[in-house]
Chains A and B, each alone.
Chain A
Amino acid sequence: DIQMTQSPSSLSASVGDRVTITCRASQSIASYLNWYQQKPGKAPKLLISAASRLQSGVPSRFSGSGSGTDVALTISSLQPEDFATYYCQQTYSVPYTFGQGTKLEIK
Chain B
Amino acid sequence: QVQLQESGPGLVKPSETLSLTCTVSGGSISSDYWNWIRQSPGKGLEWIGYLYYSGSTNYNPSLKSRVTISLDSSKKHFSLKVRSVTAADTAVYYCARSRAPYGMDVWGQGTTVTVSS
Interface residue stretch chosen among A14-22, A76-84, A89-97:
A89-97
Q: Is B26 among interface residues, defined by CB-CB distance under 8 A?
A: no
Q: State whether A97 and B47 are in contact (beta carbons under 8 Å apart), knowing that A43-B94, A43-B110, A91-B98 are contacts in the complex.
A: yes
Dominant SS among interface residues on chain B: strand
- Smallest Cβ-Cβ distance to B105: which chain A residue: A46
Q: Which residues of B contact A87 (CB under 8 A)?
A: 44-45
B62 lies within 8 A of A50 (CB): no
Q: Which residues of A contact B46 (CB under 8 A)?
A: 98
* Shortest distance between the CB of B111 and any CB in chain A (Å): 11
Q: Which residues of A contact B103 (CB under 8 A)?
A: 34-36, 46, 48-49, 89, 91
Number of A-B contacts (CB under 8 A): 59
Q: Which residues of A contact B102 (CB under 8 A)?
A: 34, 49-50, 53, 91
Contact of A101 (CB < 8 Å), options: B44, B98, B109: B44
* Shortest distance between the CB of A38 and any CB in chain B (Å): 9
- Smallest Cβ-Cβ distance to A30: which chain B residue: B101
- Smallest Cβ-Cβ distance to B95: which chain A residue: A43
C-alpha gap A65/B71 in the complex (Å):
36
Q: Which residues of B contact A35 (CB under 8 A)?
A: 103
A98 lies within 8 A of B60 (CB): no
Q: Is A45 among interface residues, defined by CB-CB distance under 8 A?
A: yes
Can you give 13 contacting A-B residue pairs, CB < 8 Å?
A43-B107, A43-B109, A43-B110, A45-B107, A48-B103, A49-B102, A94-B60, A95-B59, A96-B47, A97-B47, A98-B46, A101-B44, A101-B45
Question: 7 shortest A-B CB distances, which residue pairs?
Answer: A34-B103, A43-B107, A49-B102, A98-B45, A95-B60, A49-B103, A96-B47
B interface residues, Cβ below 8 angstroms from A:
44-47, 58-62, 94, 96, 98, 100-105, 107-110
Sample of 19 more A-B contacts, CB < 8 Å, known A36-B103, A43-B109, A49-B103: A32-B101, A34-B102, A43-B107, A43-B108, A44-B45, A44-B94, A44-B104, A44-B107, A46-B104, A46-B105, A49-B105, A50-B101, A87-B44, A89-B47, A91-B101, A91-B103, A95-B61, A97-B47, A100-B44
